Amino acid sequence: MTSDAKTTNPIMICAFEGWNDASQAATNVIRHLVASYESREIRHIRTDSYYDLQSARPMICHVTGQARIIWPQTTFYEITVAPRLHIYAQIAPEPNYRWIDYCRNSLRIADELDVGEIVTLGSMFADCPHTRPLPVEESALRRGESSIRGGAVKDSEKHGKDENPYDGPVGIPTVLDMLAEQEGFYTNSMWVSVPEYLAGDECPQGTLQILQRLSQMLGVQLNVGTLPKQSLTWKAQADVLANCNDDLKHYIEHLESKYDLDQQLDRLGNGTVPRGDEIAQEAEEFLSHIED
């Protein structure tokens, strides 16, 4: 891969199970695409010395009466989204060892496939309400180049690298993203926040929102399948949970007020000034929540 990635080259979407995959919202994007479109396995990175098999245990399954051991491994897919649009996907448990070697192995495969852009996906637990759109943070092409598709990402969509840089622990998506950039790939990182109080369930709403962001990036409407219906069910179940717990209900109301206020401040920062009656109404709603 040269430092000037070709604009016609396909993208590779990467997601990893484990710490980077709250409620499986990230890896379920790839599972959804594989199930929704014509796809085939094209490459693998086998266990070798990347995994601690006591934490990423192999699975046993029976096929036609025969027992078979399924070892943790990385799988690469080719997915035909449209007759003239193919993308690649990488899915795996997060490795336990030799991250740099693992990432270079992944990028070597991406280079063999003539990939031009690496898109890493992640999901994290956060203080956000299920009653509002889940926050999706995106950081594209950190060196400021134009995106392969659709131009540069707006400042409001970036991960905050310049304004509020993150200092702290990272997972394999961040390491892969940074090494990919160093090797000349265009890079894009998408993270969705998932309500921490719903940590025990999968989050179809998070999967749906990442999928919608990918649609914008690719310039094609990806098949969302039953995700909208699953998201409505997920929200309804969360509503029932909240209605059965007064403390949780008040906590969600607090998160809603904070979310709405942040949205208001974002609109002001972007130069979208609301009408006076809108400000008054939102202020009244915010104060009523505080009084409650």
CATH no. for 11-225: 3.40.50.10900
Tokens 């090797």 appear where? 183
pTM of the model: 0.82
Tokens 């491994």 appear where? 73
Q: Is 217 helix (H, G, I), strand (E, B) or coil?
A: helix
Instruction: State yes or no: pLDDT of 186 exceeds 60.
Output: yes
Q: Give the CA distances from residue 216 to residues 39, 145, 210, 212, 213, in Å, rounded to whole numbers and listed in that order.
A: 21, 18, 10, 6, 5
- The answer to whether 26 touches 94, Cβ cutoff 8 Å, is no
Q: Is 216 helix (H, G, I), strand (E, B) or coil?
A: helix
Retrieve residue 49's tokens.
């010395």
For 55-84, what is each residue's pLDDT tens digit? 888 889 887 888 988 888 899 999 999 988
Task: Tell me 30's DSSP state.
Answer: H
Cα(87)–Cα(115) distance, rounded to whole angstroms? Answer: 9
Question: Greatest CA separation found in the chain?
Answer: 71
Q: What is the pLDDT confidence band of residue 152, given thresholds at 50, 70 and 90?
A: very low
How many other C-beta atoms are found inside a 10 Å radius of the C-beta of residue 79?
Answer: 19
Tokens 């540069």 appear where? 152
Cα(175)–Cα(108) distance, rounded to whole angstroms? Answer: 15
More confident residue, 143 or 55: 55
For 83-118, what is each residue's pLDDT tens digit? 889 999 999 999 999 999 999 999 999 999 999 999
For 214-273, what is each residue's pLDDT tens digit? 999 999 999 999 999 999 999 999 999 999 999 999 999 999 999 999 888 888 877 655
Task: Tell me 126's DSSP state.
Answer: E
Q: Domain limits of the chain?
A: 11-225, 245-291
Q: How many CA atoms lie within 13 A of 78 on its CB side?
A: 14
Retrieve residue 224's tokens.
């969302």
Cα(74)–Cα(237) distance, rounded to whole angstroms? Answer: 33
What per-residue confidence (pLDDT) applies to 62?
86
* Distance from the first to the final alpha carbon of the chain: 58
Kindly state the percentage of the chain with pLDDT values over 70.
81
Looking at 53-149, list the stretches that DSSP marks H as alpha helix, in order from N- to C-terminal side. Answer: 99-112
